[in-house]
Structure 1
Amino acid sequence: MNDLVDTEGAADAVRREFERVHGRAPEGVWAAPGRVNLIGEHTDYNDGFCLPMALPRTTVLAAGRRDDGLLRLHSTRGGEGRITELRVAELAPGGVTGWARYPAGVVWALRERGLPVGGADVHLDSTVPVGAGLSSSAALECAVAVAYDELYGLRLDRPETARVAQYAENAFAGVPCGVMDQMASMCCTEGNALHLDSRTLEVRQVPFDLTGHGLRLLVLDTGVSHDLADGAYAALRAGCERAAGLLGVAALRDLGGADLPAALAGLPPELAPLVRHVVTENERVGQAVDRLAAGAPEALGALLTAGHASLRDDYRVSCAETDLAVAAAVGAGALGARMTGGGFGGSVIALVREDAAEGVARAVAGAFASAGFKPPSVLEAVPSAGARRTA
């Protein structure tokens, strides 16, 4: 279950494959991680707060500039070994499909900002599971963004780079996500969770010492793939924006717990649960940061489980598999558990004491077998570093 990844070995493999595919040495190798969000789900596009951490699972890419305006993309994980060749000057939303729309979107977004970027040869590989709610798309976008930043001497700071990657996903790939995934991939540091204010992009590194407290954070991938571009996610965001307009606030972040009774009483019944989730979830983020600052990470457990109930009952983005994983994990002794990511499938995180980890994993697998679900996969989440050059 140990999920420590040999990033140096992955960088060497990607470099060698770049040389094989593109016939020359790359100018560098870069990596960007996926993430799990401890608490603060569907708050970022409401200008709210969240508490993600980077995973040791990364997208690793090798790249080198081209002077002919071509973007040539190759991936170990997709495209059946083919190179996707695109002309940078002709990139436009809707013009690229499949996985290539994420790296192409970043190059397009940089050009939309008027930045002097051109073509490149790129080869990439990834250990971030796709469709598991662990931000595989943000890892890909951020790896491309940091590579292009260095290749073309752009000198963007980390939050600005995250905004570019988010814009690429919103406007080019068609997913109306908030900025949390990209900020986590860009700004997380080893050993810490990232307390993010999605309005100001102010960040605080919060120590999250699992090992020192005899804890482990398991990621239970249900195997139910989700696609946030299918409209359900956009409908939730639109509902929150409509509610904020009706309540006369710029975003739901501007409401506190004391505002809830009056706010809920004045909203249409389909919007009230969305508002209740966002307001209470922002409060849970603050409580989580306080508990970590007090040196009590085990006290996060109850917040995780409460957050899942809110996502299930108010936001309605859970599913049978994620609900079962949470129930089975808590029933087997997990301190707390919840779905992580946008929902509609994906993964569950479970905070467990070290001596209970194997039992919790077995209990979830047994519950899935009894329900006729395909077996879940189990990863271990270790607070890891954000995007960086690796070679």
Structure 2
Amino acid sequence: MSTAPDPATAPAPAPAGDLAARFTQEFGSDPAGIWQAPGRVNLIGEHTDYNEGFVLPFAIDRTARVAVGVRTDSTVRLLSTYGDQGVVTTTTGSLEPGSAKGWTKYPLGVMWALRQRGIDVPGIELLLDSDVPLGAGLSSSHAIECAVITALNELTGAGLEAQDMVLATQQAENDFVGAPTGIMDQSASLRGARGHAVFLDCRDQNATLVPFEMEPAGLVLLVIDTKVSHSHADGGYASRRAACELGAEVLGVKALRDVQVGDLAEASGLLDEVTFRRVRHVVTENDRVLQTVELLGDRGPAAIGHLLDASHASMRDDFEISCPELDLAVDTSRAAGAIGARMTGGGFGGAAIALTPAASEHKVRDAVVRAFSEAGFTEPDIFTVSPAAGAMRIA
């Protein structure tokens, strides 16, 4: 079964009423409800989450929506509005890691993780609709998972708090999907709020909303989807995580969160050159998150551009997770007037963000499209995002 086509090129998601009507047409009964969860942009703090560090993502105004109906047996029937693969059918009792493919592994992984927690998850029928671009580093998979767990939490009466749903979706990603991700993406999707970023301490899940409103500052945030698809389940992500774990072990700390910038000189004499650079990225990135939170509170978003630039340089040079398309997007954006730019997401493709004066938006867009054309790259998809509300029931 193939993965659903990229929603970035598809129409806007269907209104809730249209999605309910499609559900009824496909499954022969009305859904119990419709739930949605947003994708996310990570403003700063990359690969710090699984090192028990700090991140600053925000939920975006692009969402995954699921219409869900409850069955009286253990049958599970799944359908996406994108693609032509038709209804995928399985049972709750047959859910095992590695048993699902394509987009269905995300809802099925959530069901499996809830069952691991002793929650009686019934058979369901589910229709997915999404406009979160796939493979762009905007967490399309977590948007699906968070929409599904929000629905199932209500439908089963499980009564899970946000932090419980975060950990359940992380288990789904790690153990069912096979992607060694942290808790940042689902935390942003479940805990986001309009006009705010989520300052998350990944050690204890403490989350604080930080004002992040660009319009009053005369700014927009451009997302530049390079169309270079990435996958968290590949070896590049896993090898970076393994290097971080090795660095923490050699330095005698629980996690790299416990290493400070002032400790790096000593660390350089204890670690091999590659592991040291991986560690240096995480340690300095944690520091950049803390600086960004402080500047947003004191001076607003116009003051954080240099930190975005430094973050990208660290990911490019120390963590080595950028690519030519991402570097070109960042460099061109800055040259055309953006006050700061960086790749966002797990790396090896995906998207860059450019914090840009509203008056320069079209200049930056045009410059990036032209630069990609001249380099022979696929034309990028460029759009703005705003901090939006987290997961919720919408019908």
TM over 0.5: yes
Kindly report which structure 2 residues correspond to 1:1-391, keeping only aligned pairs within 5 A, or say none: 10-78=15-83, 80-391=84-395
Aligned equivalents of 2:154 and 2:281: distance in 1? 40
Structure 1 runs of 4+ off > 2 angstroms?
A: 6-10
The SS at the match of 2:125 is strand
State whether residues 11 and 61 of structure 1, in contact with CA within 8 Å, keep that contact through their aligned partners in structure 2.
no
State whether residues 341 and 353 of structure 2, in contact with CA within 8 Å, keep that contact through their aligned partners in structure 1.
yes
State whether residues 8 and 390 of structure 1, in contact with CA within 8 Å, keep that contact through their aligned partners in structure 2.
no
The SS at the match of 2:213 is coil
The SS at the match of 1:29 is strand
State whether residues 39 and 304 of structure 1, in contact with CA within 8 Å, keep that contact through their aligned partners in structure 2.
yes
The aligned amino acid for 1:42 is H
Structure 1, unmatched stretches of 5+, are none
**CA displacement at 1:13 relative to structure 2:** 2.2
Report the RMSD for the aligned CA atoms in angstroms: 1.4
The SS at the match of 1:36 is strand
1:322-366 per-residue CA deviation (whole Å, 9 max, x = no partner) reads 000000000001001000000000000000011001100111111
Aligned equivalents of 2:339 and 2:228: distance in 1? 24
State whether residues 10 and 60 of structure 1, in contact with CA within 8 Å, keep that contact through their aligned partners in structure 2.
no
Question: Measured at CA, do residues 9 and 104 of structure 1 come closer, stay the same or move farther in structure 2, by a change above 3 Å?
Answer: closer
Structure 2, unmatched stretches of 5+, are 1-7
Aligned equivalents of 1:267 and 1:47: distance in 2? 20
The aligned amino acid for 2:62 is R
The SS at the match of 1:150 is helix
1:103-123 per-residue CA deviation (whole Å, 9 max, x = no partner) reads 100000000011121111100
The SS at the match of 1:155 is coil
State whether residues 207 and 292 of structure 1, in contact with CA within 8 Å, keep that contact through their aligned partners in structure 2.
yes
**CA displacement at 1:7 relative to structure 2:** 8.9
2:4 is matched with: none
**TM-score of the two chains, using structure 2 as the length reference:** 0.96
Aligned equivalents of 2:298 and 2:21: distance in 1? 46
